Amino acid sequence: MRRGVSGLGVSTATILVLMVVGVVSVILSCCIWLFIGSYRSAMVQSARTGTAQAVSQVSNTVRNYLKDMEQAMQLVEQSMTESPDSRDELLSTFLNFRPDVVAVTSYSATGELLECWSPGRGPRENIFQNLSFDLDRALASSSPHMTAPHVVTIFESWYPWVVTMTEPLEAPSGGDSAAAWVSLDLSFSNISGYINNVSIGQRGYCFLMDRTGNIVYHPQQQLLYSGLKSEDTASLAVLEDGSYVDDTIIYSLTSVENSNWRVVGVSYVNELVDRSVQEMIRLSLWLAILVLAAALLSSWLLSRLLSRPLRGLASAMERFEDDADHFTYRPVEGTREVRELSNSFGHMVLRIQRLMSTVRQEEINLRKTELKALQAQINPHFLYNTLDSIAWMCEQGRSADAVRMVHALARLFRISISKGHELIPIAREIEHAENYLEIQKYRYKNQFTYSFDVDPECLDYYCNKITLQPIIENAILHGLDLMVEEGRIHVVVSQDGDDILFRVEDNGVGMSTEQVRAILDEDSQDRTGIGIKNVNDRLRIYFGKQYGLRITSELDVGTRVELRMPKVKEAGDYEAK
């Protein structure tokens, strides 16, 4: 039962491996969670910084563009103070060196286009709409102002993308013209191309807007015009310069120096951050798997280092439990704690074996004492019955029979004494039983006959002395004494494997089950029953509980008593168990 229960439990090695793997898993999970959180925050901050840097570069480029435009306007404004010929020559030279300048135009006080200087192009005769000049805005502004990027509409079949800077003239120009304003159309393709090429991630971009939220330029203007895309410029217009992050988008705003424009950078968190975080999570998981594998291997090796000596110690305990008498303990090697436990177990084994030896010797002495006490019960009991029979013969005047009985009694006591030995050869026990039967025949006036059927090979084996006599006595008193007809007693001695089997049968009146049970009852006080119980007790004490006698009886049919004992070849080879 103990081994079955222990077999259902969990081994120390398994517990150690599970504990190490569990602890490492929890620590790894916490570390990965903290690391990924910190890494994502760092990536968001890095994305904000990258977006801000991209916006700052665009802002510097646009600022340089506007500054260059202002310098060009200063040259144009100076040329407008010269004579017409000198002005045309100066502007022609200027346009040759500045191919990015699309046109220089002058306007009257009423907003009429007066002159246009452009490389290889002249003014249109019928202007449909001049998007480069807004009279109302010109009148409202006393300083140079700049338009949003637009298409030049003053040339036939040529519509470049430009930004126009308009500046009022302090005095009318020379000649017949009365120019009040001069405008400079500068190609916006360089700036738009630069803005279009700015990429923040795969989907991020930059665009220009003014301080009121109007879009100046957007790289996805076609989508805006078609309504497929929108920008919340109203919300962006109220924000100060800097970076702002919501759940999905990073906005970075920077004002262009000395202008009404602001550069807005748009990038996507999931593109710049989540992808890197996913890669880091994937890398962390692989690293966690490697760490778990290393922890599993280390814990397994550690568990073997600890559990192997413990299993050896447990195995030694099982062997000691199975056969404590012949167990020889060899100390188990291992860690200091295991060695101490092994040494303690070794000391305990020695103490238990010494204690068992002492207890066993005391039990042997006790059983020998019990055997002597039982033998002391048999001798007076038998002597009482025999002397009773001799006294009866003397009363009947049968002196010769009494003398023969006295001689038979002497032979009985000679055999029963047997020089103090408990075990005697079966041949002597048969002789003892025959002498007893001879004595009893005289007493019962030949009311019964008896016979012996003995296997000759059994005669040299040893048995307890005075074993058959109490059983024969019980057969005579309980079975044959009350019979009218002649009784029969049959004694059989045979071999049964490694055992000797004695069988005493009679054809007497028989016994009931209750009577059989009473004969073997330990509390029985029946004087005739003392002999049967005594024999059974001696056999069990001397040879073990698997030996003894068995009684089978049937009323008016007879009784059979069987005794079983082991084959004993030498009296000194067997001690009471």
pLDDT per position as a tens digit, 103-136: 888 888 888 888 888 876 666 665 656 777 888 8
- The Cα 17–Cα 355 span in angstroms is 41
Residue 275 to residue 44: CA distance in whole angstroms: 12
Q: Which pLDDT belongs to residue 577?
A: 46
SS (H, E, C) 285-322: HHHHHHHHHHHHHHHHHHHHHHHHHHHHHHHHHHHHHH
- Mean pLDDT calculated for residue range 170-188: 71
Q: Which residue has the higher pLDDT, 3 or 254?
A: 254
Q: Look at residue 422 in the predicted model and tell me its pLDDT.
A: 75
Amino acid at 276: S
Nearest to 366 by CA among 541, 522, 485: 541
Least confident of 8-12, 323-327, 436-440, 485-489: 8-12
Residues shown for the chain:
577
> What are the E-state strand segments in 159-204?
161-168, 179-187
Mean predicted lDDT score pLDDT of the chain = 79
**DSSP 8-class letter at 457:** G
CA angle 383, 444, 505 (to 5 degrees): 85
Question: CA torsion angle for 43, 46, 52, 56 (degrees, to 10)?
Answer: -150
DSSP state at residue 456: G
Q: Is pLDDT of 175 > 50?
A: no
Q: What is the pLDDT of residue 522?
A: 56
Residue type, 576: A
- Of the listed ranges 90-99, 222-231, 352-361, 412-421, the least confidently predicted one is 412-421
| pLDDT value of residue 377 | 55
DSSP H stretches of helix in 396-461: 399-417, 426-443
Q: CB count, 10 Å around CB of 226?
A: 9
Question: Which of 568 and 324 is assigned the larger pLDDT?
Answer: 568
Q: What is the mean pLDDT of residues 556-569?
A: 91
Q: Choose the weakest-confidence range: 51-55, 411-415, 417-421, 451-455.
A: 417-421
Structure tokens given for 194: 């630069």
Provide the β-strand partners of residue 263. Answer: 208, 254
Q: What are residue 452's DSSP bridge partners?
A: 491
Predicted local distance difference test score (pLDDT) of residue 12: 64
Mean pLDDT of 366-391: 66
SS3 355: helix
pLDDT tens digits along 484-502 = 788 899 999 999 999 999 9
Residue 7 has pLDDT above 50, yes or no: no
Question: What pLDDT, on a 0 to 100 scale, did the predictor assign at position 189?
Answer: 83
CA atoms within 13 A on the CB side of 23: 8
Q: How far apart are CA 280 and CA 273, in angstroms?
A: 10
Residues 6+ apart with CB under 8 A from 57: 198
Rg of the chain over Cα atoms, rounded to whole angstroms, equals 64
Q: Please report which confidence band the pLDDT of residue 176 belongs to, taking 50, 70 and 90 as the band edges.
A: very low
Does residue 94 contact residue 79 with C-beta atoms inside 8 Å? yes
- With bands split at pLDDT 50, 70 and 90, how would you rate the model's confidence at 571? low
- pLDDT of 121 reads 65
* Pair 452, 431: CB distance under 8 Å: no
Give the list of residues 6+ apart from residue 48 with CB closer than 8 angstroms, or none: 243, 245, 250, 252
Of 263, 213, 207, 250, nearest to 235 by C-alpha is 213
Structural domains present in the chain: 11-293 (3.30.450.20), 358-573 (3.30.565.10)
Share of the chain above pLDDT 90, in %: 11
Run of H or E residues at 170:
none
Q: What digits encode the pLDDT tens for the residues 32-71? A: 788 777 777 777 777 788 888 888 988 898 888 888 888 8
Helix (H) or strand (E) holding 342: helix 336-395
Average pLDDT estimate for 305-323:
75
- Tokens 């190609």 belong to which residue? 187
DSSP line for 540-552: HHHH-TT-EEEEE
Q: Which amino acid is at 220?
A: Q
Of 509, 507, 503, 508, the C-alpha closest to 551 is 503
Q: Is 568 in a helix, a strand, or coil?
A: strand
pLDDT at 451: 93
- What one-letter code names the amino acid at 70? E
Q: How many CB atoms lie within 10 A of CB 106?
A: 23
**pLDDT higher than threshold 80 for residue 385:** no
End-to-end CA distance of the chain: 27
Q: Which residue has the tokens 């025999």?
A: 386
